[in-house]
Homo-oligomer: A and B are copies of this chain.
């Protein structure tokens, strides 16, 4: 176990701004509405501005004290609405940290540290509903919605030069596969999407530190990273560093899937220091409270856990309410049965009691809690396939239908809702998942785990699943839950988390480009232009991982001078195709473009004549000898 100061040092490194990058803010209609972006200064004077999930950590001006937590972003907005109130809150009990928790002295110390983080909880006033969906449906554009609009657009000015060519724009026009993405996202558009349930803004009123973001088919595709483990945490810094590391590389959301000791206290640290929405699976903690015996779970324990976590500020709950008693036997002949932890816990409970799941029977009670805090539903796919062989089966789609039914109930309460999806799906079966989800769940955002397209790549499942994730993202999935190289094998370490996130940033961006998200392609174009211009440093800095790109380059050509030289190590100084192309261009400009064009026109006409003649393809060509 490392000493705290090691982690403080680690956090300092993790906070370093990206190369040539600076934090900037787009200010909205009020002074306290400031949307962060990362501006990258190129060597040719251009500035490229990109979406930034890293929060204040990459702002050198920001003073970070993880024992205090982040500054509030939304506190004033929440308070101004006047529909919520501070209250005493549920009293924490020892069991919150699990039935077999840390030794008493250690836990007392941890709790003492966490106490400094506490914000007094807030909830809706009696009869009020504080969800973004509720406001949206009343026609109110909240600051959160405006924030999201500005964030989705980014700085469009710099993108314009890369989108100026009409031929190119027509040729590259995306295929949105049914999405309807406007050229500019307005706050009103955000409101409308949230009102329709086609997007959510996960933002618990007890998480005022969150920088609002949207999850929806008509917005940029988002990614989620999972953190948390069953090991004993050594310090606040260690937990927070994991979070900061994940958002540094681009995680839009983070789920805390801790299942071990001290999970209540750990969660305090994570939420208070997180600028991104935090999701959890409350049944995990509830199970800890009953010593791991699924049969001993009760609605009362679960309800109490929901309130506990809602007061802490968790932004969305995965609730496996679609695992109904009647569906369980549908999994009996599967190759890998039920692989969702939450799903298998609930299945066990249902079978033990031979009763319908309390998550299903109490669904409206759950809604009543969610709307008091604006916790969003992430309706869990407890019956998702655990291997390609079980994909798209009756159990999976039966549950999906129930999730659609529950979505309607949640929406009756104006509770924001997204739907979790698989998992393991071969490429040719991915579209069916998306189509079924859109139809069954009334366009509520889809949030899939991959899917993995094959099962023979343990150690490389981030790649096997990035293929499926890119495809389903293109088809309409709003958020992609990452998979790390350690999937199926063990707990991801720091580098695994990074590898998983980068693979999923690739998938999400590939989806945005394919959908034709306005401006998404501009960063690719800026990088390609830098590549062509031999602006090596710009090429590195515009990439998803500048450090690795530079490191790879420097392995072969370590000299600084090489970074502006007009060749790379792939081809060497004489053999560079890009250099030759430049010469070709100059040659073409100097003599003969007009001539060539005339020649080409003549040839094209000839080709047309030939094609009209049809049939015979072979035309004798000149032979020299």
Binary contact track A50-83/B, C-beta < 8 Å → 1, others 0: 0000000000000000000000000000000000
Instruction: Tell me the number of copies of this protein.
Output: 2
**Given the complex of chains A and B, what is the CA–CA distance between A462 and B506 in angstroms?**
11
Knowing A427-B471, A521-B388, A580-B338 touch, does A485 contact B571 (C-beta < 8 A)?
no
**Given the complex of chains A and B, what is the CA–CA distance between A299 and B338 in angstroms?**
65
Q: Is the CB of A467 within 8 A of B510?
A: yes
Binary contact track A546-566/B, C-beta < 8 Å → 1, others 0: 001101110111000000000
Knowing A341-B575, A466-B463, A486-B552 touch, does A175 contact B428 (C-beta < 8 A)?
yes
Q: Is the CB of A572 within 8 A of B622?
A: no
| A619 CB within 8 Å of chain B | yes
Q: Is the CB of B456 within 8 A of A544?
A: yes
Q: Is the CB of B624 within 8 A of A172?
A: no
| A329 CB within 8 Å of chain B | yes
| A392 CB within 8 Å of chain B | yes
**Given the complex of chains A and B, what is the CA–CA distance between A531 and B328 in angstroms?**
21
- Within 8 Å by CB of A460, from B330, B333, B502, B577, lies B502
| A597 CB within 8 Å of chain B | yes
Instruction: Among A172, A426, A569, A571, find the residue whose CB has the most chain B CB atoms closer than 10 A.
Output: A426
| A45 CB within 8 Å of chain B | no
Q: Is the CB of A360 within 8 A of B599?
A: no
Residues from 352 to 376 in A contacting B, C-beta threshold 8 Å: 352, 354, 358, 360-365
**Given the complex of chains A and B, what is the CA–CA distance between A513 and B470 in angstroms?**
18
Nearest chain B residue, comparing its CB with the CB of A619: B405
Number of interface residues of A (CB under 8 A): 157
| A8 CB within 8 Å of chain B | no
| A296 CB within 8 Å of chain B | no
| A387 CB within 8 Å of chain B | yes
Binary contact track A610-624/B, C-beta < 8 Å → 1, others 0: 000000011101111
**Given the complex of chains A and B, what is the CA–CA distance between A299 and B622 in angstroms?**
13
Binary contact track A313-347/B, C-beta < 8 Å → 1, others 0: 00000000000111111111101111111011101
| Residues of chain B with a CB closer than 8 A to A548's CB | 459-460
Residues from 482 to 497 in A contacting B, C-beta threshold 8 Å: 485-486, 488-491, 493
| A246 CB within 8 Å of chain B | no
Residues from 441 to 464 in A contacting B, C-beta threshold 8 Å: 453-460, 462-464
| A503 CB within 8 Å of chain B | yes
Q: Is the CB of B339 within 8 A of A577?
A: yes
**Given the complex of chains A and B, what is the CA–CA distance between A254 and B577 in angstroms?**
22
| A539 CB within 8 Å of chain B | yes
Q: Is the CB of A230 within 8 A of B572?
A: yes
**Given the complex of chains A and B, what is the CA–CA distance between A423 and B263 in angstroms?**
48
| Residues of chain B with a CB closer than 8 A to A341's CB | 571, 575, 577, 580
| Residues of chain B with a CB closer than 8 A to A330's CB | 600
> Which of A106-114, A134-142, A582-590 lines the interface with chain B?
A582-590
Within the complex, the shortest CB–CB distance from A40 to chain B, in Å, comes to 11
| A578 CB within 8 Å of chain B | yes
Q: Is the CB of B453 within 8 A of A580?
A: no
| Residues of chain B with a CB closer than 8 A to A326's CB | 596, 599-600, 603-604
> Which of A30-38, A85-93, A213-221, A522-530 lines the interface with chain B?
A522-530
| Residues of chain B with a CB closer than 8 A to A199's CB | none
**Given the complex of chains A and B, what is the CA–CA distance between A462 and B401 in angstroms?**
37
Knowing A507-B467, A531-B488, A568-B488 touch, does A361 contact B456 (C-beta < 8 A)?
no
Q: Is the CB of B388 within 8 A of A524?
A: yes
| A412 CB within 8 Å of chain B | yes
Q: Is the CB of A459 within 8 A of B555?
A: no
Q: Is the CB of B544 within 8 A of A580?
A: no
**Given the complex of chains A and B, what is the CA–CA distance between A344 and B557 in angstroms?**
23
**Given the complex of chains A and B, what is the CA–CA distance between A616 and B440 in angstroms?**
14
Q: Is the CB of A339 within 8 A of B581?
A: yes
| Residues of chain B with a CB closer than 8 A to A625's CB | 365
Binary contact track A525-541/B, C-beta < 8 Å → 1, others 0: 10111011000000110
**Given the complex of chains A and B, what is the CA–CA distance between A624 and B502 in angstroms?**
45
Nearest chain B residue, comparing its CB with the CB of A294: B580
Q: Is the CB of B362 within 8 A of A172?
A: no
| A574 CB within 8 Å of chain B | yes
Q: Is the CB of A491 within 8 A of B570?
A: yes
| Residues of chain B with a CB closer than 8 A to A622's CB | 361
| A348 CB within 8 Å of chain B | yes
| A12 CB within 8 Å of chain B | no
| Residues of chain B with a CB closer than 8 A to A568's CB | 488-490
**Given the complex of chains A and B, what is the CA–CA distance between A584 and B175 in angstroms?**
44
| Residues of chain B with a CB closer than 8 A to A488's CB | 531, 539, 568, 570
| Residues of chain B with a CB closer than 8 A to A592's CB | 351, 354
Residues from 366 to 402 in A contacting B, C-beta threshold 8 Å: 386-389, 391-393, 401
| Residues of chain B with a CB closer than 8 A to A474's CB | 427-428
Q: Is the CB of A337 within 8 A of B585?
A: yes
Nearest chain B residue, comparing its CB with the CB of A554: B490
Nearest chain B residue, comparing its CB with the CB of A391: B172
Task: Given A326-B604, A427-B471, output 9 extra A-B contacts at Cβ < 8 Å.
Answer: A171-B391, A171-B392, A259-B575, A325-B596, A344-B577, A347-B580, A363-B621, A459-B545, A486-B552
